[in-house]
């Protein structure tokens, strides 16, 4: 049983990490695109951020030092990530459902981190775990975990109900969309039920995690809890294979698209990358493009199809 559980948990974690890495690499290695920013851009000067202005508002802007405020971005990103500020502003009805779901997941991530802390303490400083600090940690794990589970399951159920009821969402909802939400509800629900109904003799969360980490064959895990662990592991592996990997995409949609106002200065890294792209040989078939598979982007851009037609 423990071996099976360990295999599932480790395999799921590996799939999760690998799939996330593949996505990150795919987007990070995509070519620098033409600029496509949207204002406001929060790393601009604060007085400009207030009205959505850019460095283009200055005369001779290219002679002025570039401004980049890390804190400006943080001021935007932290409320956006933690509280889904944009959704709160633009789609309040959905926010009431989506926020508890996402915040529940954050609490579960927090629970996981606390559990890891507990496991580490158990290995390196067991005395700490035995004392009042350990009790406090266990209480925090229980409270965060329960709250996280409850919020995430409630949010997912509310999102599912909306998908099923709301006419404007129905036409765009696929079987996959419904399955995703049901998967969250079932996996987290079963895990939560398994933890709450486990017999007193069963190890606590820290003990379970330590047992799984060390392949402790004697670990006694009730079937409901085991089912919960397996389901959550599968869910973890599944997430980065779907559009729910938007936690990765969002970094790129903001930093590489909406906020990317980096200037292509002569001799810059951007210019070097562009020089490479201009050697690509496109194969677009429309006549006015004049791509024959041999001409480079640079050659095509320097061709005038109207003059060619005259000739």
* Pair 94, 184: CB distance under 8 Å: no
Sites for another protein among residues 80-99 (CB under 8 A): 84, 86-87, 89-91, 94, 98
| CB of 58 or CB of 113, closer to another protein | 58
Quote the tokens at residue 124: 């390196």
Tell me how far, at minimum, the Cβ of 108 lies from another protein, in Å.
20
Tell me how far, at minimum, the Cβ of 230 lies from another protein, in Å.
21
* Pair 221, 5: CB distance under 8 Å: yes
Torsion of CA 180, 185, 188, 194, to 10 degrees: -140
Q: Does 71 bind another protein (CB under 8 A)?
A: no
**C-alpha span between 53 and 43 (Å, rounded):** 11
Size of site (CB under 8 A) for another protein: 89
| CB of 3 or CB of 29, closer to another protein | 29
Sites for another protein among residues 104-133 (CB under 8 A): none
Concatenate the DSSP letters of all residues of 9-44 into one string: HHHHHHHHHHHHHHHHHHHHTSPP------S--TTS
Query: Using CB under 8 A, which of 83, 110, 177, 202 touches another protein?
Result: 177
Sites for another protein among residues 149-168 (CB under 8 A): 168
| CB of 218 or CB of 307, closer to another protein | 307
Contacts of 38 (CB under 8 A, 6+ apart): 258
**C-alpha span between 71 and 250 (Å, rounded):** 18
| CB of 10 or CB of 96, closer to another protein | 96
Quote the tokens at residue 120: 């580490």
| CB of 33 or CB of 214, closer to another protein | 33
| CB of 91 or CB of 197, closer to another protein | 91
Concatenate the DSSP letters of all residues of 236-294 into one string: HHHGGGSGGGHHHHHHHIIIIIIT------TTSHHHHHHHHHTT-------GGG---SS
Sites for another protein among residues 265-304 (CB under 8 A): 265-266, 270-271, 274-275, 277-278, 280-289, 297, 300-304
Sites for another protein among residues 29-58 (CB under 8 A): 30-41, 44, 48, 51-58
108 vs 8, 11, 140, 141, 229, CA distance in Å? 19, 20, 12, 9, 13
Binding mask 247-266 for another protein (x = CB under 8 A): --xx-xxx-xxx--x-xxxx
For residue 63, give the DSSP letter: G
| CB of 142 or CB of 234, closer to another protein | 234
Query: Using CB under 8 A, which of 176, 200, 223, 311 touches another protein?
Result: 176
Binding mask 13-32 for another protein (x = CB under 8 A): -------------xx--xxx
């Amino acid at each position: 049983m423990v071996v099976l559980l360990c295999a599932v948990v480790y395999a799921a974690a590996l799939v999760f990490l690998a799939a996330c890495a593949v996505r990150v690499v795919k987007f990070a290695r995509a070519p620098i695109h033409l600029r496509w920013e949207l204002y406001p851009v929060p790393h601009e000067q604060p007085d400009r951020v207030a009205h959505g202005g850019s460095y283009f508002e200055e005369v001779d802007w290219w002679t002025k030092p570039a401004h980049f405020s890390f804190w400006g971005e943080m001021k935007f990103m932290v409320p956006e990530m933690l509280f889904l500020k944009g959704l709160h502003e633009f789609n309040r009805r959905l926010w009431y459902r989506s926020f508890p779901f996402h915040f529940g997941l954050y609490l579960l991530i927090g629970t996981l981190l606390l559990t890891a802390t507990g496991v580490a303490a158990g290995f390196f400083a067991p005395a700490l775990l035995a004392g009042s600090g350990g009790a406090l940690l266990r209480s925090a794990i229980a409270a965060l975990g329960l709250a996280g589970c409850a919020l995430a399951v409630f949010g997912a159920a509310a999102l599912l109900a909306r998908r099923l009821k709301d006419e404007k969402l129905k036409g765009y909802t696929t079987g996959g969309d419904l399955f995703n939400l049901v998967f969250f509800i079932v996996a987290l629900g079963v895990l939560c039920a398994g933890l709450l109904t486990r017999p007193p003799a069963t190890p606590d969360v820290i003990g379970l995690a330590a047992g799984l980490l060390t392949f402790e064959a004697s670990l006694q895990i009730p079937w409901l809890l085991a089912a919960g662990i397996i389901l959550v592991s599968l869910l973890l592996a599944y997430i980065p294979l779907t559009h729910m990997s938007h936690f990765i995409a969002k970094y790129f949609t903001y930093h590489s698209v909406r906020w990317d106002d980096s200037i292509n200065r002569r001799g810059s890294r951007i210019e070097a990358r562009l020089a490479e792209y201009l050697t690509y040989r496109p194969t677009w078939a429309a006549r006015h493009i004049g791509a024959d598979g041999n001409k480079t982007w640079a050659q095509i851009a320097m061709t005038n199809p109207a003059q060619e037609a005259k000739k």
